[in-house]
Structure 1
Amino acid sequence: MNIGDVARLSGLPPKTIRYYEDIDLVCPERSANGYRSFSEQDVHKLAFLSRARALGFSIEACRMLLSLYEDENRESMQVKAVAEEHLAQIDEKIEKLKSMRETLSSLVNRCSGNDRPDCPILADLAQIEPDPTA
C-alpha cells in the first residue's frame, strides 16, 4: 500500500506517517524505486498510534505501549503502569487548569471593562514572581 492508502485507512495525515517513520515507530519496506510500501500490520500500528495519541499519550509512551502490544510475553501490569502514569499527569493538568480558570475568572470579574486605563488583569500580569531561592 502507498502512503495515501495508509493515510486514508489509519486516519492519519501523510506528514504524520512520515514523521512516525522518521522516529522509527513504523518501518515500511521500500521498493526498488524508493517508494514506501506499507503492510496491513503497518496500518494497524498507525491506527493504534492514532488512538493512543488521541488519548494524549506522549510519543515515548506510545513507543512503550506499541512495544508492549507487540510483546506476547508482556504482563498487563506493565501496560497498566504506563496508563496510570499518564492518568496521573492528566489529573495534574486538570488541577492546574482549574486553578488557572479560578484566577482568570476572578481577574475578569474585577475588571470593570470601561474606558478607564486601570485594569486588574494587566496589574496582575505585571507582578514580578518572588525568587523562591532568595
Structure 2
Amino acid sequence: MYSISEAAELLDVSPHTLRYYEKEGIIVPDRQSNGIRSYHEDHVLWLKFVIKLRETQMPISDIKQYTKLFQAGDRTAVERLAILENHQKNIQQQLETLHATNEMLETKIDNYKTYILKEKHQHH
C-alpha cells in the first residue's frame, strides 16, 4: 500500500494530480479508517496507464468515459476497444507529425552547420 505522496512519487506526478483524477472518478483509492487515501498495486498500474494516455494527449473526457465503461464490466469491451483504437490512430498521426518535423529540423540544422562552418573558414 502506498500513501498519496508515495504513489505520486512512484508515478512522477503531484499528489494534486492524483486528487484530480479521484475527483474526476478516474481512480478511487482505498480509504483508511482515519480517511487517509491509500493506493495498492492495481491502482498504480491503472494510473500508469492513465498517465500514458494523458501524455499522448487523450482528453480527460475520453479517459473518464473509458473508466466508466471499464467499471461497468465485460459487456462494454466493444466500446472500450473503440476508444483505444481511436486513440491509437491519434498517436500514429502524432508520430507522423513528429517524424516530418524532425526531418525538417534535420535539414535546417544541417543548413546552419554548413553556413557556420563556411563563415568560419572565410574569416580565417
Bin for the TM-score computed over the shorter chain: 0.5 to 0.7
- Report if the CA contact (8 A) 1:68-1:79 is conserved: yes
- Report if the CA contact (8 A) 1:7-1:17 is conserved: no
Structure 1 residue aligned with 2:83:
82
Shift of 1:28: 6.2
Shift of 1:25: 3.1
Q: Which residue type is aligned with residue 48 of structure 1?
A: W
> Where in structure 2 are the equivalents of 1:28-107 lying within 5 Å?
36-38=35-37, 44-45=42-43, 47-55=45-53, 56=56, 57-72=58-73, 74-107=75-108
Shift of 1:114: 4.1
Structure having the higher helix fraction is: 2
Shift of 1:7: 4.1
Shift of 1:85: 0.6
Provide TM-score, normalisation by structure 2.
0.64
Greater mean alpha carbon deviation, residues 19-28 or residues 73-82: 19-28
For structure 1, the 5+ residue unaligned runs are 117-134
- Report if the CA contact (8 A) 1:9-1:43 is conserved: no
Could you list the structure 1 runs, at least 4 aligned residues long, displaced by more than 6 angstroms after superposition.
28-31
For structure 2, the 5+ residue unaligned runs are 120-124
Percent identity over the alignment? 22
- Report if the CA contact (8 A) 2:5-2:15 is conserved: yes
- Alpha carbon RMSD of aligned pairs, Å? 3.4
Higher RCO structure (Cα 8 Å, ≥6 apart): 2
> In the aligned structure 2, how far is the partner of 1:28 from the partner of 1:94?
34
SS at match of 2:75: coil
Provide TM-score, normalisation by structure 1.
0.60
Structure 2 residue aligned with 1:23:
24
| Equivalenced residues, count | 111
